């Protein structure tokens, strides 16, 4: 098959898959052994016709091997869907096949990235001079921000970490909330900060960091280079830390405040904002592939200290075509990746297609759906909601009448297993304050009120059989 026919076939196949989502089981049904048999075998020795390759690939994977993550009835983890403009832009990115590390070889995508970064800074109300980087996801967004923070707090202590590394450096105190996401300690490991010295700050009943508690922690070791990491959007409850208050406390003690906003930073587009004082932090991370509904993958780092950010990431080589300082923006100066996909292009398309008001509607609509889940489920006997539904997350516990906590845990896990088997919708499980919970996360523009009611019906009928 010639190239244009092949690509048209692939596009039509993708469109067909997406159109089939509303009527499909959300849960994958394929037997892994069948998938391996259909896709595997010895490494191919000879060429195969490209159309046959794609047919085999799509046929095998789509036959129950995919989770309906882009379905309006997928409520697992925090995985947004895909707005059409963004998906179309993503297809163009693959067709263009640009290595987006430098400006000069690909000025078109470099300018898209500049514009998308500036739009995000503006929409989130962050300082206009802030620098940014488009990375693979929240993990790398946190890692990039903390690398900038490491540079800055050690420079303030008279240490050049980029030249000297950490051998002999003044120790850094990393302060996190008790509800820190696991990607922050992993970033600490990657950056040589380690996990053992991490200081944890108490949080409130919904998981948000307490400014008074942070104040007490920071008083303990005055003058130590300190990075505080708070969050906008707890992965279980959705709680938003009081960022402005935390920034004031951190800055009073000369500390850097990073906001892990993988989930919740987009709620800053709401007016009035739910994140007052957000702009007073030093760095922020968020995901485009979650609530902005950009296809996987893309995370974003934003930094109020461009000099530290650039110093932590920049790289030069004689064979590169790099822009003179202060002229065009080379993404390689801001990113941990060297060669990289033009992942800002689908972000640009989502921002342009939705606009600030469209993103605000997406956030508001998701939160309203989450509240509806909580309201309706809470009216059922033996069902309780364990979190304050302040964002898009709902934690549901199913009680075993007359039973103890262990029995409630077992029943909750049985209901989760039953709904996943049923496949009408998909919710995962988690543990909140030692208790097993069903975790419902709403972050897809495709979710309708009807999806929510149908999913609640399915959950209740799963609970009836579990
Ligand atoms: C608060 C928080 N930070 C970071 C991450 C990691 O994001 P990613 O999966 O895009 O690396 C997540 C993922 O859910 C998260 O909830």
3-state SS assignment for residue 174: strand
261 lines ligand 1 (CB under 6 A): no
Instruction: Look up residue 131 and give its two tokens.
Output: 């620098």
For ligand 1, mutation pick of 190, 235, 259, 430 (most atoms within 8 Å of CB): 235
260 lines ligand 1 (CB under 6 A): yes
Gap between the terminal Cα atoms of the chain: 51
Query: How confident is the model at residue 376, as a pLDDT?
Result: 98
Q: Whose CA is nearest to atom 9 of ligand 1?
A: 138
* pLDDT of the chain, 466 residues: tens digit per residue: 799 999 999 999 999 999 999 999 999 999 999 999 999 999 999 999 999 999 999 999 999 999 999 999 999 999 999 999 999 999 999 999 999 999 999 999 999 999 999 999 999 999 999 999 999 999 999 999 999 999 999 999 999 999 999 999 999 999 999 999 999 999 999 999 998 889 999 999 999 999 999 999 999 999 999 999 999 999 999 999 999 999 999 999 999 999 999 999 999 999 999 999 999 999 999 999 999 999 999 999 999 999 999 999 999 999 999 999 889 999 999 999 999 999 999 999 999 999 999 999 999 999 999 999 999 999 999 999 999 999 999 999 999 999 999 999 999 999 999 999 999 999 999 999 999 999 999 999 999 999 999 999 999 999 998 7
Question: How far is Cα 169 from Cα 157, in angstroms, rounded to an integer?
Answer: 9
Dist. CA 294 → ligand 1 center (Å):
15
3-state SS assignment for residue 441: strand
Contacts of residue 332, Cβ cutoff 8 Å, sequence gap at least 6: 101, 102, 313, 314, 315, 320, 322, 338
Q: Render the burial of 168-178: b for 16+ CB within 10 Å, e for the rest.
A: ebbebbbbbbe
Contacts of residue 219, Cβ cutoff 8 Å, sequence gap at least 6: 253
Nearest-CA neighbor of 397 among 369, 423, 427? Answer: 427
179 lines ligand 1 (CB under 6 A): no
Nearest-CA neighbor of 342 among 311, 386, 297? Answer: 297
Query: How confident is the model at residue 326, as a pLDDT?
Result: 86
Query: How confident is the model at residue 240, as a pLDDT?
Result: 98
Dist. CA 148 → ligand 1 center (Å):
19
262 lines ligand 1 (CB under 6 A): yes
The answer to whether the predicted template modeling score (pTM) of the entire model surpasses 0.95 is yes
3-state SS assignment for residue 429: strand
Query: How confident is the model at residue 344, as a pLDDT?
Result: 98
Q: Which residue has the tokens 């709620």?
A: 267
Q: Are 414 and 438 in contact (CB under 8 A)?
A: no
Q: Which residue has the tokens 């400014």?
A: 211
Instruction: Look up residue 447 and give its two tokens.
Output: 């979710």
287 lines ligand 1 (CB under 6 A): yes
Query: How confident is the model at residue 1, as a pLDDT?
Result: 78
Maximal C-alpha separation, the chain: 73
Q: Are 145 and 258 in contact (CB under 8 A)?
A: yes
With vertex at residue 44, the alpha carbon angle to CA 57 and CA 61, rounded to the nearest 5 degrees, is 15
3-state SS assignment for residue 462: helix
Instruction: Look up residue 108 and give its two tokens.
Output: 């078109």
Helices (H), 161-298: 161-164, 183-190, 211-220, 243-252
Q: Are 233 and 268 in contact (CB under 8 A)?
A: no
């Amino acid at each position: 098959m010639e190239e244009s026919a092949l690509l048209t076939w692939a596009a039509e196949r993708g469109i067909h898959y997406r159109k089939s989502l509303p009527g499909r089981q959300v849960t994958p049904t394929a037997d892994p052994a069948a998938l391996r048999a259909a896709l595997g075998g010895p490494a191919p020795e000879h060429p195969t016709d490209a159309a046959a390759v794609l047919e085999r690939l799509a046929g095998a994977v789509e036959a129950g091997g995919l989770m309906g993550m882009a379905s309006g009835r997928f409520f697992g983890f925090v995985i947004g869907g895909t707005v059409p403009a963004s998906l179309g832009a993503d297809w163009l990115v693959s067709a263009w096949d640009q290595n987006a590390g430098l400006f000069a070889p690909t000025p078109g995508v470099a300018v898209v990235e500049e514009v998308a970064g500036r739009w995000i800074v503006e929409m989130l109300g962050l300082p206009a001079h802030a620098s940014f980087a488009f990375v693979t996801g929240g993990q790398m967004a946190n890692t990039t921000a903390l690398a900038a923070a490491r540079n800055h707090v050690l420079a303030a202590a008279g240490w050049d970490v980029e030249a000297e590394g950490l051998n002999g450096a003044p120790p850094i105190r990393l302060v996190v909330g008790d509800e820190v996401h696991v990607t922050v300690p992993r970033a600490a490991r990657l950056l040589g900060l380690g996990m053992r010295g991490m200081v944890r700050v108490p949080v409130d009943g919904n998981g948000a960091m307490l400014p008074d508690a942070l104040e007490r922690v920071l008083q303990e070791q005055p003058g130590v280079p300190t990075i505080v990491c708070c969050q906008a959007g707890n992965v279980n409850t959705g709680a938003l830390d009081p960022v402005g208050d935390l920034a004031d406390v951190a800055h009073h003690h000369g500390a850097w405040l990073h906001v892990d906003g993988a989930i919740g930073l987009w709620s800053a587009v709401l007016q009035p904002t739910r994140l007052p004082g957000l702009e007073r932090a030093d760095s922020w991370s968020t995901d485009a592939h979650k609530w902005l509904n950009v296809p996987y993958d893309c995370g974003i780092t934003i930094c109020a200290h461009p000099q530290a950010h650039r110093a932590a990431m920049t790289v030069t080589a004689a064979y590169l075509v790099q822009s003179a300082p202060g002229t065009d923006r080379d993404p390689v100066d801001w990113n941990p990746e060297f060669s990289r996909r033009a992942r800002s292009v689908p972000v640009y398309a989502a921002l342009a297609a939705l606009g600030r008001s469209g993103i605000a509607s997406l956030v508001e609509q998701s939160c309203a759906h989450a509240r509806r889940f909580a309201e309706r489920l809470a009216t059922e006997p033996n069902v309780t909601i364990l979190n304050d539904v302040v964002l898009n997350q709902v934690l549901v516990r199913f009680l075993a009448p007359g039973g103890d906590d262990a029995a409630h845990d077992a029943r909750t896990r049985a209901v989760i297993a039953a709904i996943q088997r049923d496949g009408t919708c998909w919710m995962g499980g988690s543990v909140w304050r030692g208790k097993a919970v069903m975790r419902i996360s709403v972050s897809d523009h495709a979710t309708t009120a009807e999806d929510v009611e149908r999913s609640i019906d399915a959950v209740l009928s799963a609970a009836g059989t579990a």
